Amino acid sequence: MANPQDTALIEVRGLKKYFPITQGIIFQRKVADVKAVDGLNFAIKKGETLGLVGESGCGKSTTGRAILQLYRPTAGEVIFQGKDLVKLQGEELRKMRRNMQMIFQDPYASLNPRMTVGDIIGEPLEVHNIAKGKEKKERVQELLKIVGLNPYFVNRYPHEFSGGQRQRIGVARALAVQPDFIVCDEPISALDVSIQAQIINLLEELQTKFNLTYLFIAHDLSVVRHISDRIAVMYLGKIVELTDRNALYNNPLHPYTKALLSAVPIPDPVVEEKRERIILVGDVPSPVRPPSGCHFHTRCPLVMDKCKKDDPEFRNAGAEHWVACHAV
């Protein structure tokens, strides 16, 4: 499906993650599934940043976690460095974590409050047998310097830092094992706007320096435009459009993408005045019972009879511009 090229670092095929809903007092039985991620196909090339955007609850974070096997996927394959992560178990999977890391959304909750910064950043070095003792300490201090923190902070605890500094600690922790691939799960959503830019710049700097590959999850379209090479748009557990950054912003094909982009304010009062917003009607349907056919048909301005019956194929509309829509 999505251009499985030779240079693809990670390839996701038919990825699904359903969360069961159970009912019953004594005997729990499954009554339905929350189809958080419902069949994703895409690849990320080595050294690129793939942006993943969508509304809250559309399955972006679940996708990131399912790729890293923090949630075990319900179905599908995640091929990373020639291995299918979904099939790996226990120790094998744990060893793979050396090559893939995650930067978490909430810098306040994702750092263990009882561990010093040195322990937090140094722990991955120890569990993957990279460095110990004095070497570990030096490496931790070096990492702190790389992310722009004072290396003397090693003995401090997370609560002594601000949100932006904490996120830098999170970045240093992810970098410690020198991974190839990092999932950035809304790394800036919890930060002040002024700090957001700092973290984005840091992530870009580190990408060039260490040749990192990012899956960048966000809901802020301008940030995603800034940092991504290619962008995937998600709606209710599915990718509806995937193409390179400029094509997506200049020539969006999917009606959902158009609606999303029309919601971005333009920092120019004259242009902003003329901006036409496409207002979607209704709410996002429940992922427990997604609409038949195209998931978007309940809110789509271009809806046709066909959309209610057939799930549109995710196809290449030319120049690697992938889209899932009957109307295109």
Partner 1 sequence: MVNYLIRRLFSMTIVIIVSSFLIYMMLNLAPGGPLWELTQAGSSRESALTREDYARLEKMLGLDKPMHLRYIIWLAGDDWLDGGTRKGVIRGDWGESWRVAQGMSVMELISSRIGNTIILSGAALLLSLIIAIPVGIIAAVKQYSKLDYALTAFAFFGVAMPVFWFGLMLILVFSLQFKAWGLPALPPGGTESLFGPDQGSFLDRLQHLIMPAIVLSLFQTASWSRYMRSSMLEVLKQDYVRTARAKGVIERLVITKHAVRNALIPIVTVIVLSLPSLFNGAVITETIFAWNGMGRLYINALTRGDYPVLMIFLLISAILVVAANLLADVVYTFIDPRIRYS
Interface residues for partner 1 in 138-157 (CB under 8 A)?
A: 157
Q: Which of 245, 240, 220 is nearest to 230 (CA)?
A: 245
Q: How far is the CB of 183 from partner 1 (least distance, A)?
A: 9
Alpha carbon dihedral 312, 315, 317, 318, in 10-degree steps, equals: 180
Contact 10, 80 (CB under 8 A): yes
For the bound state, the minimum distance from the C-beta of residue 274 to partner 1, rounded and expressed in Å, comes to: 43
Report yes or no: 219 and 54 within 8 Å, Cβ to Cβ.
Answer: yes
Residue type, 31: V
Q: Is 73 in the site for partner 1 (CB under 8 A)?
A: no
Helix, strand, coil share of the chain (percent; to 5): 35, 25, 40
230-235 and 238-244 as β-strands: parallel, antiparallel, unpaired? antiparallel
Question: Would you give the binding string for partner 1 spanning residues 113-132, x where CB under 8 A is met?
Answer: xxxx------xx--xx----
Determine the 3-state secondary structure of 117 from DSSP: helix
Nearest approach, Cβ of 310 to partner 1 (angstroms)?
Answer: 38
Using the 8-state DSSP alphabet, how is residue 273 labeled? H
What minimum distance in Å lies between the beta carbon of 98 and partner 1? 6
Q: Which is nearer to partner 1, 68 or 325 (CB)?
A: 68
Minimum distance from residue 188 beta carbon to partner 1 (Å): 16
Distance of closest approach, residue 142 Cβ to partner 1, in angstroms: 18
Strand partners for 181: 100, 213
Q: Rule CB under 8 A: which of 4-33 touch partner 1?
A: 28
Asked if residue 159 binds partner 1 (CB under 8 A), the reply is yes
Q: Cβ(11)–Cβ(328) under 8 Å? A: no
Residue numbers 82-111 binding partner 1 by CB under 8 A: 94-95, 97-98, 101-102, 104, 106, 109-111
Among 5, 23, 81, 112, the residue binding partner 1 under the rule CB under 8 A is: 112
C-alpha to C-alpha distance for 90 and 138, rounded to whole angstroms: 30
Residues near partner 1 (CB under 8 A) are 28, 68, 70, 94-95, 97-98, 101-102, 104, 106, 109-116, 123-124, 127-128, 157, 159, 170, 173, 177
